[in-house]
A and B are shown apart, each in its own frame.
Chain A
Amino acid sequence: MHPIVKPAFAPRPTRRGFLAGTGGLILGLHLAPQARAESSAPTAPTPGAFVPNAFIRVAPDDTVTVLVKHIEIGQGANTGLPLLVAEEMDADWSQMRAEQAPSNPQLYANAAFGIQGTGGSTGLSNSYMTMRRAGAAARAMLVSAAADLWGVPAAEITVSKGVVAHGPTGNEASFGALAEAAAKGPVPEDVALKDPADFTLIGAEGITRLDARSKSTGQAEFTIDVYRDGMQVVAMVHPPKFGATVASVDDSEALAIPGVRAVRQLPSGVAIYADDTFAAFRGRDAVVVEWDESAAETRGTDEIVETFTAAARTASLVAEEAGDADAALAGAERVIEAEYVFPYLAHAAMEPLDGVIEWDGSAAEIWSGMQIPTTSHATLAGVMGLGQEAVTINTMYTGGSFGRRATPDNHFAAELANVAMAGGPGAYKLLWTRENDMQGGYYRPLTVHRLRAGLDGAGNITGWVNQLANQSIMRGSPFEAMMQGGLDPTSYEGANDLPYELPNRRLAWAEMRSPVPVLWWRAVGHTHTAYAVETFLDEVLETGGRDPVQGRLDMMRADRPRDRAVLERVAEMAGWSGPGTGDRRYGVAMARSFGSYVAQVAEVEDRDGAPHVTRVWCAVDCGLAVTPDVVRAQMEGGIGYGLSSILGEAVTLEPGGRVAQVNFDGYTPLRLPEMPRIEVSILPSAEPPSGVGEPGLPPIGPAVANAWRALSGQAVRRLPMRPA
């Protein structure tokens, strides 16, 4: 999701005191059970716990459980947010636990969105002050309780690694021992936060992810692992073409399969209800559906590309302009131009979309992984005709998302509710097959860029024009209200506000329409803009006789020191001396996205006529790195996900409109032998934390393509580089 998105449909919380702003206090006097290291489903605070605010529970057994308001999709939210609390509480890392917070926008809104949601790599940055304040308040209340208990001044009390101590008297107590007394004390109006120079956990190495143990032993509970008494498994048959609808259903063969209970027509397709997954999937294969394709997308990819390319050539909606680009091109010594085609991409997260719903006719409970629980909550309640208070959402561990579970239209939540309504009171697990997932749309938008640059006789860039065409992600969604001047920034982000001095430039967009639903896909617009800009720039620099690194540095805007620093750092890491001359060549690229700055160098060789990436050097400035190992992991992951897409991923429509790829045999993500060695350098920074989930991705495609061009002489302008 785009970080600038501030949906108009959900008012931002008013600026009250931070504790009031987070929903006030839930003070409790309960006895908590032994907490597990982490849990993906919420548990009720139990007797004896000290619950200073909506984010923290301190149990008598000394465990401190942080309710994490963001979904854990692998990015480390269940580690990063507890770490912020632990730092300000002066807790010991071993006593920290994480639990997914329930859906409750009053308590758990994302400060960047105004509603509860995870996206735009905002999880840690928008939580940085909130969670620290929550931790500091809890610490203050524990100290106050100790001061009262021991009859000593609070100012003389110290806290370290979960031990509250008073040096002069030798008194010591654990958090758990003070929990009951602390729960009775007043909530501080204001609390002082630590000086970052005093941090012992934030920025430290050696922090073990709270979910590392359960995820290495098969104990982490995902949505697919939720089983309820009497639960039926539901499989779906969806239209084979986008925009088609059900005309008629023959369910006789499906109903003859042992274990198949019912077949129901839903707004989104045909649902097969069964006793278990095997029967549901067999029923899915056996049901015969006739489709009404009158409103369907029937164009194939080639035809769509042709249309989008023509539109890119005449794109006229200006997103950014300076100087007179046309005059610059007209007066240039030389004009270079190139067109780029980027395919639809599936997120293809390892866990297909799934959800469990149980209802009794008056209240419903849901277990799923939803990136925007606030709007999913409203959709579920709306479809079921229930008040929102009658609907409970438990956020589960989720087997990847990459944006797929952040659908503004909440189509999956609606389908889940419809499954329950059509089935009647009871429990249902809606489980998409891989085929449903692959062919179900909500892809990274197919995009065409047309770039032109003018050079003077000395090889300087005098004019720069970037025109592109793609579908809007925001159009037709609640985010449409954010489109100013008809522009959807997620369509072209990363092609504007470049770090380079380009005094005569224009960026123009053509909005395309199609029934194929599109969606944010890890790094969103940057997935194609960085590739187009950074590979085109590389060619232009070469034409002008410039080195890829020095040429970029020479053009760098004076107000972009952080871009400059990551580029200089990565050049140093890789021992940059140009693209090279041997069997291994080097390419460089950089991109700022989601508030962070990343530059990468890729080392590429030729393996059977296709690029094989052997090494990647990555320099990142993400502000203060709260958990450096998570930052490194996210850079590695972003590089792998991005490399996967540019090498071998594409969703294509056959003539007539059917999706050609069905499963992981036709849609071919990166496998381990293709993964390069990666070295990550995190630039020291005192700036506030910015995103890491997405920013690792944008530079890898162009870095590899630039190296490949140096090696093969071929500029790859239609992706993927290695079609399946």
Chain B
Amino acid sequence: MRIRVNGTDHEVDFEEDMPLLWLLRDELGIHGPKYGCGIGQCGACTVHLDGVAVRACQVWAADVGAAEVTTIEGLGTEDAPHPVQQAWIDLQVAQCGYCQPGQVMQAASLLNETPNPTDAEIDDAMSGNLCRCASYPRIRAAVRRAAGQEGA
């Protein structure tokens, strides 16, 4: 079966009910999406399917089909970060950093759909992504910054 991740096609042989998370991590060597709960409660595994945030632990690999999978690695790089990643760097959001790939992907998805979100829309969109370091105030601020609402 063929799966397209971060612009690259992969030919893979896998169990159809393998969660996309483990296909990405164990079979394709893409480690940005993290395991946190396995039941879609924490958001650490968030990736995009055609630009929309999904929990990779809740998507069967066989159901991805022709959709384009984007992980944190495909969003931007250390040398050329995506605007959301740049905002994360500028505001020093990350502490332990484990949940941040999921947070960044969730935020990027929000801004794809809602380029100028209200505070309530930010809170709502980010409510499914846990951060035990409680970097939440900086996540809020970084989403606003990436949306061009500096000082808002």
Contact = CB atoms under 8 A, between A and B. Distances in A.
B19 interface: yes
A399 B41 contact: no
B92 A222 contact: no
A644 B127 contact: no
A224 B76 CA distance: 22
Contact of A664 (B42, B104, B131): B42
Contacts of A633: 92, 95, 135, 138
Nearest to B99: A350
B15 A218 contact: no
Given A349-B132, A672-B129, A675-B137, A434 B100 contact: no
Contacts of B34: 222, 224, 350-351, 399
Contacts of B27: 276
A215 B127 contact: no
A23 interface: no
B89 A398 contact: no
A228 to B, nearest CB: 12
Given A399-B96, A664-B42, A216 B89 contact: yes
B137 A227 contact: no
A277 B31 CA distance: 13
B109 interface: no
B26 A278 contact: yes
Interface residues of A, number: 63
Contact of B38 (A225, A434, A644): A434
Contacts of B113: none
Contacts of A218: 31-32, 71-73, 75, 101, 104
Nearest to B86: A216
Contacts of A222: 34, 98
A433 B96 CA distance: 19
Contacts of B9: none
A693 B147 CA distance: 31
Interface string B76-111: 111001000110110011111111110010000000
Contact of A212 (B31, B94, B130, B134): B94
A401 B132 CA distance: 9
A695 B142 CA distance: 25
A629 interface: yes
B137 A664 contact: no
Contacts of A74: 94-97, 133
Nearest to A638: B134
Contacts of A73: 96
Interface string A6-49: 00000000000000000000000000000001000000000000
Contacts of A398: 96, 98
Contact of B15 (A213, A258, A349, A639): A258
B98 A399 contact: yes
A681 B140 CA distance: 20
A401 B133 CA distance: 10
A227 B25 CA distance: 10
Contact of A220 (B35, B93, B97, B139): B97
Nearest to A639: B134
A266 interface: no
Contact of B39 (A208, A278, A665): A665
A350 B41 contact: no
B81 A672 contact: no
Contacts of B12: none
Interface string B1-33: 000000000000001001100100111010110
A278 B18 contact: yes
B31 A225 contact: yes
A217 B139 contact: no
A140 B53 CA distance: 53
B134 A629 contact: no
B133 A276 contact: no
Given A218-B71, A225-B31, A673-B127, A678 B93 contact: no
B67 interface: no
Interface of A: 37, 72-76, 208-209, 211-222, 224-225, 227, 233, 258, 276-278, 281, 348-352, 397-402, 431, 433-434, 629, 633, 636-637, 639-641, 643-644, 663-665, 669-673, 675, 677-678
User: Which A-B residue pairs are the 9 nearest by beta carbons?
Assistant: A640-B134, A399-B98, A218-B32, A215-B97, A74-B96, A74-B95, A218-B72, A675-B136, A215-B94
Given A216-B93, A673-B126, 11 more contacts: A74-B95, A75-B95, A215-B97, A215-B100, A222-B98, A281-B38, A397-B97, A433-B38, A637-B134, A641-B132, A677-B137
10 contacts: A217-B77, A218-B104, A258-B15, A276-B27, A277-B26, A397-B97, A637-B95, A643-B134, A672-B129, A672-B131
